[in-house]
Amino acid sequence: MRTASRSAMTSPTGNTETATHSRIGRQGRFAEAATIAERPLQIYQKSLGPDHPDVVRGLLLLAIIHQERAEFDEASLLFHRALDIRRKTYGSDNIIIASSYADLARLAIAQRHFDKAAQYATDVLSLHEKNFGADDPRVLPALITVSLLSVLTGQADTAEALLRRALSISERTFGADSVPVANVLSGLADVYGVRWKYGDAEELYERPLAIYRKALGPKHPMVAASLDRLARLYIALGRAKSAESVYDEAEAILVESLGQNSPALSGIYNNKALLLLQLNRTSDAELLFKRAAELLMSGAGKETPALAIVLSNLGNLYEATGRRKEAVKARQQSATIFRKIYGDTRVPVAPAAILPTWQEL
């Protein structure tokens, strides 16, 4: 079974229009964000010229939207144009070049080109270490990215070692109860989950959750993301009721912070539906899968990898309930989306947590 993932998007500018773009991006409304993002790029190019470094702001805004909509060729052109402008302006060894490499690494991850992404991420880390030093906190984002790609390229031990290094830097620099520490611990939890191991529950799940609640407030979306990880741990431990309760709490947080029609809810709905399917509550699971698909389509305005994953899961549900014709249709829709976006290359996804046979009911 598969789980959908969400991508965070940050805004490089601080004006009102960009703030609006950032807000609707967090809500997953990327079709609307694309229309808004066109305007600042046109303004920058007209007023400053096509190769002015400030044009990069507009390029990145629009590139991120194209990436979220799985329009990878368009995003690649914009990210590479931003890189060219930065190289001409600052030179190839300037630290700002690392930002463009990071953008290209994230794009390659979205395309499932993990080897290419790993090279970009390694270049980012090298530039940060060269400019700041190996133990400077500014190397943390690069360390975490390289660790993620180490998992995806089958080097889980390397990933854990990098994250342990990142944890040491974070605790020393920001303190044991800081958000950066929580972020690294969450990354470690994800690495353990991919390896079908779950590690120390208190350290990797309860500690970052407590930090997010204290530092960001109990209704912050990061709290919901941390609850999602905790629910997957409970599933692996066979605590089905606890997992369902945690998913309900995460859903309530996202509804309150982003609204009941936010596509950001789709990941929670998908993951909760997978749990309910394992509990043979197929009617409830079906409603959640369909709601997740509806939110994803309304947000992106087109078919995306996250939608393909939900449709695949819905196909599994149809198969489990003897609805063969509907199962084939959903799976064909999912496969078509994946082929359209990635070609015929197999697309790996994170495994869903599976209830053991002795789960507590």
239 forms bridges with which residues in the sheet? 360
Q: Hey, do 14-92 and 124-216 end up sharing a CATH topology, with the first three levels equal?
A: yes
Higher pLDDT, 321 or 36: 321
CA torsion through residues 122, 164, 347, 283, sign: negative
- Distance, CA of 185 to CA of 203 (rounded, Å): 8
pLDDT value for 5: 36
pLDDT tens for each residue of 195-246: 777 778 889 999 999 999 999 999 999 999 999 999 999 999 999 999 999 9
Residue 276: Cβ within 10 Å count = 21
> 221-361 domain in CATH 1.10.10.10?
no
For the ranges 42-56, 194-208, 320-334, which has the lowest average pLDDT? Answer: 42-56
Q: Does pTM top 0.75 for this prediction? A: no
| pLDDT, tens digit, 9 for 90 and up, residues 26-37 | 445 555 666 666
Structurally, what CATH architecture does the domain formed by 124-216 represent? Alpha Horseshoe (1.25)
pLDDT, tens only, 256-276:
999 999 999 999 999 999 999
Confidence of residue 49 (pLDDT cuts 50, 70, 90): confident
CATH topology assigned to domain 14-92? 1.25.40
DSSP code string of 108-136: HHHTT-HHHHHHHHHHHHHHHHHHH-TT-
pLDDT 10s digits, 70-128: 889 999 999 999 999 999 999 999 999 999 999 999 999 888 899 999 999 999 999 99
What are the boundaries of each domain within the chain?
A: 14-92, 124-216, 221-361
Per-residue confidence band for 323, with pLDDT thresholds at 50, 70 and 90: very high
